[in-house]
Structure 1
């Protein structure tokens, strides 16, 4: 075969292979598009699932019903950095799923580098909450969401600018139309969607929950810790306790109360007294949930305690007297005539063993709560 014929044959083979590869490439693109279009965002009412013992006193405004499409949009917005002034922060920056939607910092840093005045709270089980922030100044999730989005020391951007930025994207106008009936993006719609997503962040599958439904047998230390946690001390009757259940009792491990828990004799932060202007409210803060408490260090409104051991030590031995100290913390002791709880070292360890029972691995690994742009979340969706 001469050189010319060889070259022609080679060219034909190369063209045939190239054609095959091109067809295969186009087919893959079409298949990818088909996969995307055949897996659209689900629509319809969102079914909020939770244990019966959590109760049905949930808080959902009539003008913001929870829908599957609304939750999906809210989840997108929760992880959206365009909602911040410098396009680097999102709600997730201070509320990370692997830390039970906290950030592991005493105080968080905003777009301007300034630290927030208080510790970032967990977002678990907000469906039952009515007052938000450590000082309870927001009535409802929708009202709460406005502050971190617009505060100059947090995400630092007006809702109007956020809406304008989202309107220029290829994705959001279509999603807003799916949720609200038209492509008009507003600040009100942004906060409503985020609130819908946050109401789905239900934590109800810890070992404690499993124990309550008869699916987990606690260790001896966990059982003793649970007993101490729920008991008030009665030394005259030989009953030892840590008195934790007074604020953190019940299956959700919190009650919507505000207390001064003896951190300071002269509170540096006035708490809800900033709004009530009552001396008896000085240093009173919202009682946080203890769900996933082992994951949400540091602790207290100012993040002063780095470990659970420090927290237990505080309640056992270091409560400071003040005019506004919550009354149930006064004079509680495991010793007759004692001035503080005086828990034994072994009892402190047992209480912490129980607190670790409240970690919900299902909650912190649920792909439906994760960044929808992550590979795991995309696969799930």
Structure 2
């Protein structure tokens, strides 16, 4: 397992400041969504450490941000929850990052001319600078995240025909706003006039913002690497984490992730990230990308930097606290047996509530999921849990809640900023 060596600014992909400033505006501008009612920042908000504080997000059609976000009303109300927990954005611009999304469906690859293996396959455009820029394009194509429902707008109609058909529509919306046109010309050397702006430049600006805005490597643990002792509880937790509990066998390296895929046996609920031929609301994890049976119900190991700020935890946000997530790792069978849907942070949505617990009623599927388990049982005391929590809190950057650019007050489209 890779030991943490320490992070510096040189460990991140280089970013043009003007592009990052442009990306900040785009990140919070609802013009990137089909119905102009949701932005990237809605579900990855600065007030919530780049997440939304929900187990499963409320996407297109919802109102508000964070745990107080509601499902909307009338014909604009949501039709289902987002199938997975909104992933944290911390340190995605680190040069070591190789995979994106809970199932790793975006990676660098020579398979396609774009340089990435992604859900867009050969239709992902060339010219995207890095993984962060590429991943920024995909929420725009998702019906329930940003695109909207069929028949509601031209973007979602185009996406339902082919995944890349919606991007030129979004790009035209952006570049025809004079302020955006001027900023693209200023930020990109190869852009001489606004009409040259494509989704590639939009993705690269978003990537520049995300990669620079969410860097974090000034935690008490980083101080420890430099020779400054942790407090007593965090030090006890560090010893448990690296030695007796061996958490670092998966949460390894400077980002505390092996970037691999593991089955944790989390309680199943929600609509699931279903494949086209799935008859039930389940989430098969990595297998949804690889089509390999050995990848069933396995999900990417998350980074633990700033983890204390980014609950709920798990690919579906099943556990509201670090204590609960640690206890699940120690005894997943017992944890799953005592878990109830009320443990999840799910705003009340009466018209889809029946879906929230439907998968748990499928005995055959529950048996399949229970049969795949990569965690080993661990004898751990209540004190040990608190020591581990203290150590995980020591991974929180001292400036984590003081970001370089933050949330803008206004955006060039004139749309409201969440």
Fold conserved (TM > 0.5)?
yes
Q: Does 1:347 align with 2:395?
A: no
- What is the SS of the residue equivalent to 2:230? coil
- What is the SS of the residue equivalent to 2:6? helix
Note if contact 1:99-1:364 (Cα within 8 Å) is conserved in structure 2: no
Q: Does 1:369 align with 2:405?
A: yes
Of residues 213, 236, 239, the one that matches 1:224 is 236
Trace 1:275-294 onto structure 2 (pairs within 5 A).
275-294=289-308
- Deviation digits for residues 312-359 of structure 1 (CA, Å, limit 9, x no counterpart): 111112247855423xx34xxxxxxxxx20101111111111111112
Q: Which residue of 1 aligns with 2:215?
A: 202
Q: Does 1:118 align with 2:84?
A: yes
Q: Distance in 1 between matches of 2:136 and 2:391?
A: 32
- Over 3 Å counting, the alpha-carbon distance change for 1:118 and 1:276 in structure 2 is same
Q: Distance in 2 between matches of 1:358 and 1:250?
A: 13
Q: Does 1:84 align with 2:33?
A: yes
Note if contact 2:59-2:146 (Cα within 8 Å) is conserved in structure 1: yes
TM-score by length of 2: 0.66
Trace 1:47-126 onto structure 2 (pairs within 5 A).
53-54=6-7, 66-112=15-61, 113=78, 114-126=80-92
Measure how far apart 1:71 and its partner are: 1.4
- Deviation digits for residues 126-158 of structure 1 (CA, Å, limit 9, x no counterpart): 123221110000122233112112211111143
Note if contact 1:97-1:365 (Cα within 8 Å) is conserved in structure 2: no
Q: Distance in 2 between matches of 1:370 and 1:344?
A: 40
Measure how far apart 1:220 and its partner are: 1.4
Instruction: Please report the RMSD computed on the Cα atoms of aligned residues, expressed in angstroms.
Output: 2.5
Q: Does 1:357 align with 2:394?
A: yes
For this pair of structures, how many residues does the alignment match? 298
Measure how far apart 1:120 and its partner are: 0.4
Q: Does 1:193 align with 2:205?
A: yes
Measure how far apart 1:169 and its partner are: 1.9
Q: Distance in 1 between matches of 2:198 and 2:332?
A: 49
Q: Which residue of 2 aligns with 1:253?
A: 256
Q: Does 1:167 align with 2:175?
A: yes
Measure how far apart 1:163 and its partner are: 1.8
Q: Distance in 1 between matches of 2:10 and 2:203?
A: 22
Q: Distance in 1 between matches of 2:258 and 2:10?
A: 12
Gaps of 5+ in 1: 1-50, 232-240, 331-339, 375-381
- Deviation digits for residues 225-284 of structure 1 (CA, Å, limit 9, x no counterpart): 0100111xxxxxxxxx22211111233212211111232699942101112222221111
- Over 3 Å counting, the alpha-carbon distance change for 1:280 and 1:59 in structure 2 is farther
Q: Does 1:150 align with 2:141?
A: yes
Note if contact 2:261-2:299 (Cα within 8 Å) is conserved in structure 1: yes
Note if contact 2:313-2:319 (Cα within 8 Å) is conserved in structure 1: yes
Q: Distance in 1 between matches of 2:298 and 2:8?
A: 26
Note if contact 2:285-2:299 (Cα within 8 Å) is conserved in structure 1: yes
Q: Which residue of 2 aligns with 1:131?
A: 99
Note if contact 2:331-2:378 (Cα within 8 Å) is conserved in structure 1: yes
Q: Distance in 2 between matches of 1:56 and 1:369?
A: 17
- What is the SS of the residue equivalent to 2:137? helix
- Over 3 Å counting, the alpha-carbon distance change for 1:154 and 1:275 in structure 2 is same
- Deviation digits for residues 28-64 of structure 1 (CA, Å, limit 9, x no counterpart): xxxxxxxxxxxxxxxxxxxxxxx9733899685xxxx
- What is the SS of the residue equivalent to 1:365? coil
Q: Distance in 2 between matches of 1:160 and 1:57?
A: 34
Gaps of 5+ in 2: 62-77, 108-130, 148-154, 156-165, 273-281, 337-368, 411-418
Q: Distance in 1 between matches of 2:330 and 2:5?
A: 33
Q: Distance in 1 between matches of 2:268 and 2:310?
A: 26
Note if contact 2:52-2:86 (Cα within 8 Å) is conserved in structure 1: yes
Higher relative contact order (CA 8 A, sep 6+): 2
Trace 1:317-336 onto structure 2 (pairs within 5 A).
317-319=331-333, 322-326=370-374, 329-330=375-376
